Amino acid sequence: MRPTNNIDFKSPLLGRGKGEAVVIIDNYDSFTYNLVHAIKKISGLPVDVIRNDELELSDLEKYDKIVLSPGPGLPEEAGFLLDIIREYAPTKSILGVCLGHQAIGEVFGGKLKNMNKVLHGVATPITVTENKTHLFDGLPETFAAGRYHSWIVSSENLPDCFEVTSYDNEGMIMSMQHKQYNVQGVQFHPESVLTPMGERIIENWLKAFPTPPKERF
């Protein structure tokens, strides 16, 4: 098992913005409200939901943590999703899930690759790399995760600003983190019932200090 994060929600790690702590950018996906439920259940924190094409970028200034939800299609088709990452990656804690993960990859120069086989509602083993990430604190080195996607962030010519934190059995990137910013993405769905350790992953993200990965250890 990986080391456990002992930070609690009573410590002043959240709420450093000008109001609500967490906002979820809804990319028109039903899993968005699974994320809302999980965050509220784990932390009791207030969670706002804003659709990707129904916002001004300045609306997000008051939040400390931004979740980029799953969704259909490609990142460039998802409203202001890419602009949100460009604007707030240097100053906010961002977690991208599935489409959100792919959007993070694209913003920083990564390429998407269409998979030969579509995975929809399939659980596969995910293996954690040696790169340190608080997301997987307390998890075994290999765990099951639910997947719903036909695109991945390609491992070929992955920008140097990223480090991969987990792979599947075929070597496809399942999670990564930015080396400078507090920006992370997971290709799988931690909010899915097919990811038994998913709530722990979300909890680890919520509890983490709002500092870049290289400064956390």
Is there a contact between 156 and 191 (Cβ–Cβ < 8 Å)? no
Element (H, E) at 200: helix 198-207
Cross-strand bridge partners of residue 149: 119
- 59 CB burial (10 A radius; 0-12, 13-18, 19+): middle
Active site residues: 98, 189, 191
In whole angstroms, how large is the CA radius of gyration of the chain?
A: 16
Is there a contact between 151 and 102 (Cβ–Cβ < 8 Å)? yes
